[in-house]
Amino acid sequence: MASIRKASAGPSKYEVSAEAAVDLAKRHLIQPWPYSGSIGTEARSLIGSGDGIYIHDGEGRRLIDGPAGMWCVNAGHRREELARVMYDQAMELSYNTPWYTMNSPSAVLAERIAGHAPGDLRHVFFTTGGSSAVESALRFMQFYNNVRGRSEKKLIISRGGAYHGSTYLSASLNGRPRDRDWMDIAGGLVVKLTSPDPFRRPAAMTIEAFSDFLVSEFEETVERLGADKIGAFVAEPIQASGGVIVSPPNYLPRIRQICRANDILYISDEVVTGFGRLGEIFASESVFGLSPDIITFAKGVTSGYFPLGGMIVSDRLLADLRRSNHPDAMYAHGLTYSSHPVGCAVALANLDLLENGILDHARDVAPYFIEEMKTLEDLPLVGEVRGIGLMACVECVADRESNNPLQLDIEVGKRIDAHCYALGLLVRPLIHMCVMSPPLIITREQIDDMVAILREGISRTMEDLR
C-alpha cells in the first residue's frame, strides 16, 4: 500500500488559534444539524489536522477517526497523492461549465466507474454529493416516467431507518422521526416500509420469517397502491446512519425481482457502501447479488477530499428514453459543479489507490475488525454488535432480556462518545448506538487500539449509569 506521510504539512495561512476559531464560529457559523436553542452560537470540537487514520483537535489531542469523517475518508487523511492531483488539476483547469463544455477527467472517471458497476449500468451523471445524487436519481425516475407517458407512476418506496440526504425529496425518504418532526417533507410522494432490522424484529420471529414478512409487506404495498403508481424503490444495501442495519440474507434480491416484474426502478443508494467500505467499489451485486437500475454514490469516491457524488444509470433506461416519442424532452436537471474537473481528477487518483492496495487491505482486515468489535458484546450495556466490511454498530440496551433501547434522555451514545474522545477516539453517536467506520487503511494493531478505547468508554458509561 502507498505510504502515508507522517510529518505535518504545517498550518494553512488561514488557520487561527483554536480559541479564535471557536469564537468566530459562535458568532458567525451555522453548523449542520443544529438545534434551535443553540443555532448560530454553537462551538463543536475543532479539528486542526489529519494524518492516516488520525485527526488532531484544536488542543493538539490525537484521536482515531472512528467514523472516517462521515463514512468518507476511505483512503485516510493527508494523502499526498490526492492533494497533489487536486493542485495540478486546479492549475490546469479549475472549472468549466458542464452546460455546453466538458473536461477530460470527468469522461475518464465515468468510464472507470462504469467498468466497476454491475449489469448494464454504464452511464454516470456527476453531482456534488450524496443528497444531490439521490435527488438526481429520483428526478430522473420522474422524467423517465413522464417521457414514457406514465406520469402517474411516481410514488417512491423507502424504509424506516433509512437516510438518503438533506435535499427536499431525498430527505423525504428518510426514516428517522427527527427528519420529519420539525421539517416539511414531500410526504404524499413517499411510502415507508418497515426497517429490515433483524435485531428489532418481533420476538419469536425467525430471521427467515422476518425476511418473508418484509417481502410480503412490499408485495402487499405494490398490490394496494398499484404498480402503475409506483416509480421507484430506494434502499441503502446496508442502512448506515440507521445503525448499520444488515438486512436478512436474500431479502434485497427478492425485492429486486418484484421491482423488475412491476416496472419499478430499483435505486441502490451506495453513498456509504460504495468505494471500498465493503471491500468492493460497488456492493450491490458483488455482496448482495442484485443488479439495480440506478446506483447513487458519493463520499468515498474522493475519500472526502472533494465534494463529489453521482448516479450510474443503466443502458436500458437511456435506450427507453431515446426510443420515446419525445426526443426533445429535457431532463432539466444539472448542477453548476456537475462533472467538476478537480473533483473528478481527485476521484481518479483515489480510485488508483483503492484498486492498487486499499481494497485488498480492506477485505483482509474486515473480518478481524468485525470479530474484535463483537468482543464488546460481553459488556452488559451492549445488546448487539453488528457489522459488515469496515462498518459496525454497537447498540446499547436497557436490559438484554427484552432488548429495550435505553431512554433517549440518557443519551448513552453521547456519553460513550465523550469518554472515548478523552481517551483518543472519535465515535459517531446515534442516540443509544455508536457507529464505527474507520478509514480503510486501518491496521490490525490500530483496530486493537480502537476497540480497547471503545471498551473503556462503554465501561465508564456503565459506571455513570450505575
Give the footprint of ligand PLP on this chain (CB under 6 A). 70, 129-131, 134, 163-166, 236, 240-241, 269, 271-272, 298, 309
Query: CA 179 to CA 248: how far, in whole Å?
Result: 25
157 forms bridges with which residues in the sheet? 191, 233
> To the nearest whole angstrom, how small is the minimum distance from the Cβ of residue 203 to ligand PLP?
29
Query: CA 453 to CA 423: how far, in whole Å?
Result: 6
**275 vs 457, which CB is nearer to ligand PLP?**
275
Q: How far is CA 6 from CA 9, 46, 51, 169, 403, in A?
A: 9, 20, 7, 42, 44
**164 vs 192, which CB is nearer to ligand PLP?**
164
> To the nearest whole angstrom, how small is the minimum distance from the Cβ of residue 61 to ligand PLP?
26
| Per-residue DSSP letter, 312 | E
**10 vs 177, which CB is nearer to ligand PLP?**
177
Query: CA 291 to CA 273: how far, in whole Å?
Result: 15
| Per-residue DSSP letter, 153 | -
Q: How far is CA 387 from CA 81, 164, 310, 349, 371, in A?
A: 30, 19, 25, 28, 10
- Do residues 234 and 158 make contact, with C-beta atoms less than 8 angstroms apart? yes
> To the nearest whole angstrom, how small is the minimum distance from the Cβ of residue 179 to ligand PLP?
12
**71 vs 419, which CB is nearer to ligand PLP?**
71
Classified as helix, coil or strand, 64 is: strand
> To the nearest whole angstrom, how small is the minimum distance from the Cβ of residue 72 to ligand PLP?
8
**130 vs 413, which CB is nearer to ligand PLP?**
130
**306 vs 415, which CB is nearer to ligand PLP?**
306
Contacts of 164 (CB under 8 A, 6+ apart): 130, 131, 134, 158, 170, 171, 173, 174, 234, 236, 269, 271
> To the nearest whole angstrom, how small is the minimum distance from the Cβ of residue 236 to ligand PLP?
4
> To the nearest whole angstrom, how small is the minimum distance from the Cβ of residue 164 to ligand PLP?
5
**137 vs 321, which CB is nearer to ligand PLP?**
137
Cell 440506478 maps to which residue?
Answer: 294
> To the nearest whole angstrom, how small is the minimum distance from the Cβ of residue 216 to ligand PLP?
25
Query: CA 7 to CA 53: how far, in whole Å?
Result: 14
